[in-house]
């Protein structure tokens, strides 16, 4: 008999099963709680609540461990490529040479988008934030591929949508940037690898020759690997719950992009740079801003610090911090906000408020500094986060649909008015 949890309520004794995962994590299975006791559980922000079982990503917040399909992030970041990691996450293991060549060839030959996308793009004023443009263009794929709306499509048809998403995301991301700065868009160049093609679509200008810097392309590829999945975070949970209503994969990913946009989530990488710039403009007084972050009456938070799960160093932050030093050195870039970031990190890691709350730098703290060194404009940082997270969202959506999970529909405890009666307007006070 597997482990159970016993409790008493209303003069009766109850017993619920405990489930255990492959990394010895345990949960109380409350599927029958309401039927047996009339009770539900409540947990704002789901800090103690699991929404599903999953075999895609494992992270241990206490030990600072992150694994994609069992492979440590440190090893994948050093030895793999983003598209190989995308295959690993989506299809369950590392591809053979043949599988990888077929996968990358399919993606390369789907990078072009329908010319009518330009008409949608032209509808967005210059200076539109590229995240709003990106989520709209991704959702517009439901119009160009209406067959994607059929919830009962076969595996091959779903795989074609997956290839289209991975292939067209860089094109849409680069075009959203071009729209923001009022430059003409660039078509994909299928002779280039995934990241080089994105960089060229983003930075090439009609008047000038553009050669991709291999250091920049390699650094970007590693950053995308580090962002590729992170179990049931806010945006992934959004993708899963939208997909649970049998909405199309394009609509589900578009919803995930919007959830990621928030400054408490993927939008933090943009907010970190804005915060560091604010500290620099204010004279670089890191202690003043640390005190602001600790002041409960001040809404200011140390962006890029803290994490719902990691109560130790975010393993991605360690890799990105080292990569930031390497990339800036290789590119000969001196960025004063990097020094401010290091000062802030040192001060926070030695401050009781942050130590007792286990607030460490997260993935967003240093990523913005690298993006800046690579020439990426600040409000494109979260777009790059979305590009990286795309295979994770896809893998999670596919797992949820493959497992036939029910539509997500949480319950609530009602705290509003009780038993009120209608009074005609002329008699209301």
Binding flag, residue 201, ligand SDX (CB under 6 A): no
The residue among 30 and 309 lying less far from ligand SDX, judged by its C-beta, is 309
Task: Judge whether 110 counts as a catalytic residue.
Answer: no
User: Which of 13-21, 78-86, 108-116, 354-362 is the region at the interface with ligand SDX (rule: CB under 6 A)?
Assistant: 354-362
Strand arrangement of the beta sheet that strand 12-20 belongs to: 4-9, 12-20, 26-28
Q: Does 305 bind ligand SDX (CB under 6 A)?
A: yes
CA distance 379 to 399: 31
Residue 45 binding ligand SDX, by CB under 6 A: yes
Q: Which long-range contacts (CB under 8 A, 24 or more apart) does 137-145 make?
A: 137/172, 137/175, 137/176, 138/165, 138/169, 138/172, 138/250, 138/253, 138/254, 138/257, 139/250, 139/251, 139/254, 141/165, 141/168, 141/250, 142/248, 142/250, 142/251, 144/114, 144/116, 144/117, 145/250
Residue with Cβ nearer ligand SDX (188 or 315):
315
Q: What is the dihedral of CA 43, 47, 53, 54, to 10 degrees?
A: 150
Structure tokens at 7: 């409790």
Stretch that binds ligand SDX, among 63-71, 132-140, 186-194, 358-366 (CB under 6 A): 358-366
Each residue 256-295 as x (binds ligand SDX by CB under 6 A) or -, in order, gives --------xxx-x------------------------x--
User: In the structure encoding, which two tokens stand for residue 113, read together?
Assistant: 């988008």
Closest CB to ligand SDX among 180 and 351? 351
Judged by CB under 6 A, which of 304, 368, 388, 391 binds ligand SDX?
304
Residue 381's contacts (CB-CB under 8 Å, 6 or more residues apart) are: 269, 270, 273, 367, 368, 371
Is 308 an interacting residue with respect to ligand SDX (CB under 6 A)? yes
Q: Minimum distance between the CB of residue 210 and ligand SDX, rounded to whole angstroms?
A: 31
Q: CB of residue 72 vs ligand SDX: minimum separation in angstroms?
A: 16
Q: Candidates 117-125, 194-202, 299-307, 412-420 — which segment interacts with ligand SDX by CB under 6 A?
A: 299-307
Q: Which is nearer to ligand SDX, 10 or 44 (CB)?
A: 44
CA torsion through residues 194, 196, 199, 205, sign: negative
Q: Are 287 and 350 in contact (CB under 8 A)?
A: no
Shortest gap between Cβ of 188 and ligand SDX (angstroms)?
27
The tokens for 146 are 């209406």
Neighbours of 18 (CB within 10 A): 12
| Least distance (Å) between residue 295 CB and ligand SDX | 9
**Which residue's Cβ lies closest to ligand SDX?**
306
Length of the chain equals: 429
Phi-psi region of 92 (alpha: psi -120 to 50; beta: other; left: phi over 0): left
The interface with ligand SDX within residues 216-235 (CB under 6 A) comprises 230, 233
Active site residue 307: yes
Q: Which residues of 264-299 are buried (b: 16+ CB within 10 A; e: fewer)?
A: ebbbbbbbbbebbeebeeeebebeebbeebbeeeee
Is residue 44 at the binding interface for ligand SDX, with CB under 6 A as the rule? no
Residues in contact with ligand SDX, total (CB under 6 A)? 22
Residue 66 contacts residue 316 (beta carbons within 8 Å)? yes
Burial class (CB in 10 A: 0-12, 13-18, 19+), 173: buried
Nearer to ligand SDX, 364 or 399 (CB): 364
Site string for ligand SDX, 390-429 (x = CB under 6 A): ----------------------------------------
The 3-state DSSP class for residue 68 equals strand
Catalytic residue among 307, 314, 351, 379: 307
- According to the binding rule CB under 6 A, does residue 253 interact with ligand SDX? no
Residue of 219, 302, 323, 374 interacting with ligand SDX (CB under 6 A)? 302
140 or 362, CB closer to ligand SDX? 362
User: Looking at 84, 345, 351, 364, which residue binds ligand SDX (CB under 6 A)?
Assistant: 364
Q: Which residues bind ligand SDX (CB under 6 A)?
A: 45, 230, 233, 264-266, 268, 293, 301-309, 357, 359, 362-364
Task: Give the residue numbers marked as catalytic.
Answer: 307, 364
């Amino acid at each position: 008999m597997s482990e159970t949890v016993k409790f008493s309520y209303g003069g009766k004794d109850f017993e619920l099963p405990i489930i255990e995962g492959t990394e010895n994590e345990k949960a109380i299975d409350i599927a029958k709680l309401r039927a047996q006791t009339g009770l539900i559980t409540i947990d704002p922000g789901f800090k103690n609540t699991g929404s599903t079982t999953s075999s895609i990503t494992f992270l241990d917040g206490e030990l600072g461990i992150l694994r994609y399909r069992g492979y440590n992030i440190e090893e994948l970041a050093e030895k793999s490529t983003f598209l190989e990691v995308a295959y690993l996450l989506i299809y369950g293991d590392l591809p053979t040479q043949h599988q990888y060549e077929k996968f990358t060839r399919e993606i390369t030959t789907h990078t072009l988008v329908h010319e009518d996308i330009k008409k949608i793009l032209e509808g967005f004023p210059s200076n539109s934030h590229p995240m709003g443009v990106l989520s709209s263009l991704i959702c517009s794929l439901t119009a160009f591929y209406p067959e994607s709306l059929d919830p009962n499509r076969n595996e091959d048809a779903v795989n074609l949508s997956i290839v289209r998403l991975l292939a067209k995301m860089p094109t849409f991301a680069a075009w959203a940037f071009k729209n923001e700065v009022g430059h003409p868009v660039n078509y994909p160049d299928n002779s280039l690898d995934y990241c080089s093609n994105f960089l060229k679509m983003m930075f090439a200008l009609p008047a000038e020759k553009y050669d991709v810097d291999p250091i920049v392309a390699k650094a970007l590829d590693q950053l995308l690997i580090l962002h590729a999945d992170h179990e049931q975070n806010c945006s992934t949970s959004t993708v899963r719950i939208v997909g649970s209503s049998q909405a199309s994969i394009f609509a589900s990913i578009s919803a995930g992009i919007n959830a990621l946009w928030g400054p408490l989530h993927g939008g933090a990488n943009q907010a970190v740079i804005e915060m560091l710039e604010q500290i620099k403009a204010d004279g670089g007084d890191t202690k003043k801003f640390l005190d602001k972050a600790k002041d409960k009456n001040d809404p200011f938070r140390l962006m890029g610090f803290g994490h719902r799960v990691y109560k130790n160093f975010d393993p991605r932050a360690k890799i990105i911090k080292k990569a930031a030093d390497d990339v800036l050195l290789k590119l000969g870039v001196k960025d004063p906000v990097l020094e401010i970031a290091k000062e802030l990190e040192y001060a926070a890691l030695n401050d009781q408020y942050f130590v007792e709350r286990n607030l460490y730098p997260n993935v967003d703290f240093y990523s913005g500094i690298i993006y800046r060194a690579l020439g990426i404009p600040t409000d494109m940082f979260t777009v790059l986060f979305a590009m990286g997270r795309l295979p994770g969202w896809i893998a999670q959506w596919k797992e949820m649909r493959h497992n036939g999970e029910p539509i997500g529909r949480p319950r609530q405890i009602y705290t509003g008015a009780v038993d009120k009666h209608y009074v005609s307007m002329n008699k209301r006070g």
